[in-house]
């Protein structure tokens, strides 16, 4: 999990549930809204996230991983 603050309440309730509330995980507006609402106690890669936000203006690793995930065949 790159950014647990991005998880919805239902996803946090059952982290292994394949059910997905988020329509477009790459949407920066939706991502910002979920992070702002999150009460998750910590982040897995906080230092990486903060560095990339300063350097690139976004959490670049998260975007690249999600883009690669989208390219995987079902």
Summarize pLDDT for 12-46 with one digit per residue, the tens.
666 655 555 667 777 888 878 877 777 766 667 88
Confidence of residue 58 (pLDDT cuts 50, 70, 90): very high
CA quadruple 33, 48, 15, 72: dihedral sign: positive
pLDDT computed for residue 36 by the predictor: 79
- Percent of the chain whose pLDDT exceeds 90: 12
Which of the pair, 56 or 41, is modelled with greater confidence?
56
What are the extents of the domains in the chain?
A: 4-71
Q: Is 30 within 8 Å of 22 (Cβ atoms)?
A: yes
pLDDT computed for residue 1 by the predictor: 63
The stretch 42-67 carries a mean pLDDT of: 87
């Amino acid at each position: 999990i790159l950014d647990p603050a991005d998880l919805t309440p239902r996803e946090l309730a059952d982290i292994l549930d394949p059910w997905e509330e988020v329509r477009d995980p790459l949407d920066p507006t939706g991502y910002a809204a979920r992070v702002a609402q999150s009460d998750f106690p910590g982040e897995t890669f906080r230092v990486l996230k903060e560095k990339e936000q300063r350097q690139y203006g976004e959490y670049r690793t998260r975007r690249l991983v999600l883009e690669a995930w989208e390219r995987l065949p079902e």
